Structure 1
């Protein structure tokens, strides 16, 4: 707490340190200034930005009081007049040091840093618990979409079984445009870059790393168990082709990059957690299939609440700032009035399941010889590995035949083994693509 926590009129004040002045940081500062009286009324005290940490002091920042700027975030959060820290720097190592120092000093932290939370959620939460500070990170998962709060509070009396969602706007824009226009991945990545959806280096998005960080956070919250980024099986969308999109349509589906968090139960009733990210076929009847452009959506299945879906802008300066400031209001209220928000509970401590044990379905597209007995050989290969076939579609091809097989649910390791065995069959010229199916 600051030594002086009221202004000259006796109104309580909350000293704020803003770390980062990128797209989100600028929006946070703008909205704080624009709606100052509203925030005071909502909090019961006045927010006062007392320092802003930036990486380059020489960079001009129009409308920002230069006396507030510093390039030493660590010293800023250690100041006695700082009660609340807003971290929107990004990255992991340095923000971790700064945020831990703030929390250990009893200063509440609001962060939008998904990579930091995914990598060090338990350490940060323990530091907050030890000092009695608050740690908020609504903006770290899906910007303006409120899902962290519902998982921590609204569904605290329920049992969440599945959290599945589209949590990366860039990849959804690319896949949605490929679906609607029949364009290639490379064409749509170039357009996404030109529009500012994709960075110059799009790896974090298109390789699934951004979604994997968010999946780790969601799984930890939903299942009250520690799940880190390294626990998440991760695949991206670079290999998705226009032909894959056409095959998905023929199966009554669309392709989405999904973050999937599941509570698994084995034959003896033992529970474990699965967190994974990959492109998958989603039936057009599923609510997630309708999520278009760069929008995000998170689908939750709970024991008593049933099916819920949270939808909206999952990225961008203003939407992310909205989520940050929602957390700021909650944290500042606690500074002014006392009390503390629910912490990050990991009491269940469920193990992370081996990816090979996860049960899913495969859509296998292969080129085969056009002769009698081929279908029987293929079906026998699936059967030999304990995988049941749901549907088969056969089409004539220029120099053979095309066979598309959709399986029933089976263990991932059995499905993988089946595909490897298919590749060795003389009857199979090549396995053109293998995609998972989710949502049914």
Structure 2
């Protein structure tokens, strides 16, 4: 009997209210979702699950041939700290390195005692489907019969299981997961969850700093509590050095649920996001959870092409080449909506911070043509000379025509006299 995962539950959107920051719940960031089956709020996980045949809109906006001529993410490791990654989906079977994975999901037994393991130890089971979707957006392999593929189809996924639908993940287990990613030499870490509602956890910040210090790009979702339009920090997205990703829609505008804030670095597609699900096939979902891996995939492509670039330089490159609606950064979409092709082609040299587009803020008005109210002496001389030349030409033509006419008339008279 196929396993069914409800797509939207209160637990997925629950925010921590515990007194101590160390016990903050790490909340998965799946917004109310659209699904592969219109009118349904569930996605069935089975080998016969719906397979998306065409190319999703989020990939149609990218010239994949041009992108992949620059990089496919080869030899880059991306740690997905989430609900696990199911390798039974054929597009992920060869994308995931199970030997590098881990399961840090804390669960209590019937007596209320914590137990470390739920499922396997390698992080390659996913009863929620969240982590499997995230991994697919980053590195799903091409497969006949579907237009869906990961942005970095030669990158390797490190599956780190740290949360579930009930929100058993905490700031503490998130710290453990980050340190595992460091140990396994990840190049990029994707965190599609947050700890909104409590003070920042110092241990979590230290773990993020350790990852950045180890040369790892850290990408995190901005959050889905943006319906009221008010700024609100989320963690780890708000920590310095982390690339915080908001969700954009098909019009390159902020998705209504996407959390705004001065910490937002860029935005990426986060509405109707097709991706892989456990067992096989695809489903659609919404949320900054699926915007972050889109950007993590781009980071993997840049890292594969520029192996010596620092996390700061890779983040700045993504921000500098984003599609902007204003010259600089704003609280809704940061520096703009990520442009994968520009990020991989406008890369002559690394930069450490993005620059406002001065061309949009200081554009000069065009210089009007010089207005002349009368003729200059030179212009008058040229005009008169033209008139004279034209007059002479007309006179010559007239005289020539008269001479020809007189000659013809004389010939006609001689002819008449000869006949008489």
TM-score, with structure 1 as normaliser: 0.30
Structure (1 or 2) with the greater strand fraction: 1
- Give the number of the structure with larger relative contact order, counting CA–CA contacts within 8 Å between residues 6 or more apart: 2
Structure (1 or 2) with the greater helix fraction: 1
